[in-house]
């Protein structure tokens, strides 16, 4: 009986080891083939630039190609859905941002993926701050000029956004709530159309990324009133922060990071995080991203996942207060 018992135990141990060893071996050799990073925005946009700059350095570290796959549409939702349904092996990653991951679950009733269940954080990479821009001919000379002109008025402040459900959309909503002025978000399908509307004066202004603001300010067709950054941006050092401009509680930004499908092996996630943080520390990577308007951060996996939960909660509260419901 004793011999039979230990024989059965031995068989169970061998079976368990057989199941574990291939997984461990796979993690130790990761990556052994090209990695695809899907970006939910067109080539040439901020998220695309971030993915390519980091991806190039990551490819050198991994000694494997890192392929950037642009899948624009629906504010990043198409790319997010694709990666959520991909194999959980570390070879399909998402360059994610606040709109499609933190905001979309509360803003859209028919979202085809569940970020909290279908993704796991790999690494926070950077943050993009926002700048309130107005047409060059705008009567508003400062943030508080704009607030004072609209406070108590029934006609709303028309602010352009780069799409319903975007951080710029709900950042405008948060601005209106804190300033106690009526804000009407005007949604455009792409950045170009929104920029044209701002320049022409069809809208009162918009909250745009630092990179977009910097480029347009150089042309002299827009002016900037304030930035949501904690400190002044080196790209636009003359522009005050919202705190300096009179609204110290107004501070919103969009995070960018790498996510993987839920179920990806822990060892693979850890290796990916380690390599991503190493890539971010390269001086040329940091300088390129800073010049593009990003605040480079980098965070370990536990910090990244805490950030994801906190951002989902924060944006959910703003969406609910706004009453917005998208399909």
Question: Where in the chain are all domains bearing CATH 3.40.190.150?
Answer: 27-126+254-322
Q: Give me 115's structure tokens.
A: 């970020």
Check residue 2 and give its pLDDT.
Answer: 46
Can you tell me which residue has the tokens 């009526």? 182
Check residue 29 and give its pLDDT.
Answer: 87
Cβ neighbours of residue 128 closer than 8 Å, sequence gap 6 or more: 46, 97, 209, 210, 211, 253, 254, 256, 293, 294, 295
Residue 186, Cβ neighbours under 10 Å: how many?
Answer: 18
Check residue 303 and give its pLDDT.
Answer: 98
Tens-binned pLDDT, residue by residue, of the chain (327 aa) = 444 544 555 455 445 554 554 544 455 689 999 999 999 999 999 999 999 999 999 999 999 999 999 999 999 999 999 999 999 999 999 999 999 999 999 999 999 999 999 999 999 999 999 999 999 999 999 999 999 999 999 999 999 999 999 999 999 999 999 999 999 999 998 888 999 999 999 999 999 999 999 999 999 999 999 999 999 999 999 999 999 999 999 999 999 999 999 999 999 999 999 999 999 999 999 999 999 999 999 999 999 999 999 999 999 999 999 999 998
Does domain 129-245 match CATH 3.30.1360.200? no
Alpha-carbon gap, residue 61 to 305, rounded angstroms: 24
Check residue 189 and give its pLDDT.
Answer: 85
- Quote the pTM value: 0.89
Give alpha helix (H) positions in the chain. Answer: 2-28, 46-62, 77-84, 98, 104-107, 115-118, 143-150, 167-179, 191-200, 210-219, 242-245, 266-280, 283-291, 301-322
Check residue 53 and give its pLDDT.
Answer: 98
Q: Give me 62's structure tokens.
A: 């991994």
Does domain 27-126+254-322 match CATH 3.90.1150.10? no
Alpha-carbon gap, residue 54 to 278, rounded angstroms: 10
Question: Where in the chain are all domains bearing CATH 3.40.190.10?
Answer: 129-245
Can you tell me which residue has the tokens 């392929």? 67
């Amino acid at each position: 009986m004793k011999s039979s018992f230990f024989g059965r135990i031995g068989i169970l141990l061998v079976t368990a080891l057989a199941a574990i060893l291939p997984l461990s071996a796979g993690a130790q050799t990761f990556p052994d083939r090209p990695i695809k990073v899907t970006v939910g925005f067109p080539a040439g946009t901020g998220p695309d630039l971030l993915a390519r700059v980091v991806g190039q350095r990551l490819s050198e570290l991994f000694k494997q190609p890192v392929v950037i796959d642009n899948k624009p549409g629906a504010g990043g939702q198409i790319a997010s859905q694709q990666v959520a349904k991909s194999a959980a092996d570390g070879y399909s990653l998402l360059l994610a941002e606040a709109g499609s991951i933190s905001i979309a679950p509360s803003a859209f009733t028919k979202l085809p993926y569940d970020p909290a269940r279908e993704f796991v954080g790999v690494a926070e990479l950077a943050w993009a701050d926002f700048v309130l821009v107005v047409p060059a001919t705008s009567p508003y000379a400062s943030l508080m000029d704009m607030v004072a002109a609209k406070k108590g008025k029934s006609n709303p402040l028309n602010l352009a956004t780069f799409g319903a459900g975007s951080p710029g959309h709900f950042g405008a909503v948060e601005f209106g709530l804190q300033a106690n002025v009526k804000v009407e978000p005007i949604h455009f399908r792409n950045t170009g159309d929104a920029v044209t509307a701002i320049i022409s004066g069809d809208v009162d202004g918009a909250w745009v990324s630092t990179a977009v603001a910097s480029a347009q300010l150089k042309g002299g067709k827009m002016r900037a009133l304030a930035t949501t950054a904690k400190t002044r941006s080196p790209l636009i050092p003359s522009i005050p922060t919202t705190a300096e401009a009179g609204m110290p509680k107004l501070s919103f930004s969009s995070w960018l990071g790498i996510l993987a499908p839920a179920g990806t092996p822990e060892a693979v996630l850890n290796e990916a995080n380690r390599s991503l943080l190493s890539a971010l520390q390269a001086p040329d990577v940091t300088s390129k991203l800073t010049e593009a308007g990003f605040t480079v951060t980098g965070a370990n996996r536990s910090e990244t996942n805490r950030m994801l939960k906190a951002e989902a909660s924060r944006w959910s509260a703003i969406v609910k207060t706004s009453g917005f419901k998208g399909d």
